[in-house]
A and B are shown apart, each in its own frame.
Chain A
Amino acid sequence: MLPIKPLFIQESNLGLRLFLGLVLVGTLLLADLRYSGLATVRSAIDTALTPIYLIADIPSAIGDWQDNTLRSRQRLLEDNDRLRRENLVLQGRSQQLASLQADNARLRTLLNSTALLRDDVLVSEIIGVSPDPLRHQLVLDKGAEADVYLGQPLIDAQGLMGQVVEVGMTTSRVLLVTDPTHSVPVQVNRNGVRAVAEGMGSLDQLAVHHVTATTDIQAGDLLVTSGLGGRFPIGYPVAIVSAVERNPGEAFARIEATPTAALDRARHVLLVFSQLPDIEPELDPGEEPLE
């Protein structure tokens, strides 16, 4: 016998249920906006959702695979040739690096400032981008298992991309420098003028606010991380100033900059493990320092 499907189901408590639901949602909203105690819940759910990111990534993975396997011999040879030449140039440039680094460290000790240590990097792959056009976030395929930590900077070959805002077991979420909620302390590479570059919600634009009209900053200037605030290591390129507008009627100049990193094209990115330079090696008392 077929069960009779009710055409009108009992709806006596629909309003009450919606009310209870809204109370729950309101609590969550407040908790997430005001306090950050829900980070563990979020990363647990994110870890569970990893398969969804991986499945959504299949089309781009297939594209990569095609690129790798169906490439003609001719193009491979060309690529190889080009990369070899590039490698030669880079090696040539890095020959002096060791002595320059030692030089730099010596000068810094003379000036009594802390030494700059080299940063280690971890190559990571982007497996997801935020579906919301206003939220510039990426999902990476490395998480807590690879020692990714909250606030870790992310770069690509051209410059700073953003920082890690959420760490799951095998994935992590990165906030890009262009997100409206993101700001990064920068300085002009030419003269060291400090400023703060803020995201505007557009992938090819950053804004530099609160720079007085008389500050020496002009179109074409390279903005690099200043290291202030302690979150980003010093010296990574962030953006190139694209427009400076000085209006006599306004207190500050209007400055726009273009991020140097390929924010919407890169697939492989680097997570930077910046070693904190303020850790002194401990020496046994009475023993002569080695150097």
Chain B
Amino acid sequence: MSEQVHGYWIIVASLLLAAVLAVLPLTRVLLWWRPEWILLVLLYWTIALPHRVGLVTALVVGLLADVMEGAVLGQNMLCLAVVVTLARLMYQRLRVFSLLQQASVIFVLAGLHQLITQWLQSLQGGGASGFVFLFPALSTALLWPLVMPVLRELRRSYKVN
């Protein structure tokens, strides 16, 4: 069975756009609410094309995100690897869910992402106090019903495979 790689650049472009959105300067009020754009896009491609995007993509993207955020190398790699593997385990179920159900799963996955980030940061003496670190998980989940149809439309019209 030969699977032809097609429209791979769409995946790369969407991830780059997510990276730009991830470092876009925001006002201080919104800073805690910045959605995890990279995670959002990566999760979509993992669910839609699990034979193309998976652990290796997560590790590479995580490394770049670590450098971009100035985080300790491996922080985003770890979070993304774990979350993407989890998504990989249940992508068949996720595909048949409604958008709202998917969003709630995304909330849990993004929350896990934030939790691991929080652990790693408190290992280095930082870390947020209270539940403020879960705000990005909420905003990521709220964006899923908006972002997912856009990416799906892109995937269909460019026949990304």
Contacts and interface: CB of A to CB of B under 8 A. Distances in A.
Contacts, number: 122
B1 A42 contact: no
Q: Taking chain A's interface residues, is the majority helix, strand, or loop, or is none over half, making it mixed?
A: mixed
Interface in B38-71: 50-51, 55, 58-59, 62-64, 67-71
Contacts of A129: 25
Q: Is the interface of B mostly helix, strand, loop or mixed?
A: helix
B147 interface: no
Interface of B: 1-4, 16, 19-26, 28, 31-32, 34, 50-51, 55, 58-59, 62-64, 67-75, 77-78, 81-82, 85, 88-89, 92, 120-121, 123-128, 161
A14 B74 contact: no
Given A25-B81, A38-B73, A52 B59 contact: no
B92 A22 contact: no
Interface of A: 3-9, 11, 14, 17-18, 21-22, 24-26, 28-29, 31-33, 38, 41-42, 45-46, 49, 52-53, 55-57, 59-60, 128-135, 137, 165-166, 173, 180-181, 201, 203, 264
B70 A173 contact: yes
Contacts of B3: 3
Nearest to B34: A131
A53 B23 CA distance: 7
Given A18-B81, A56-B20, A128-B25, A6 B127 contact: no
Contacts of A7: 92
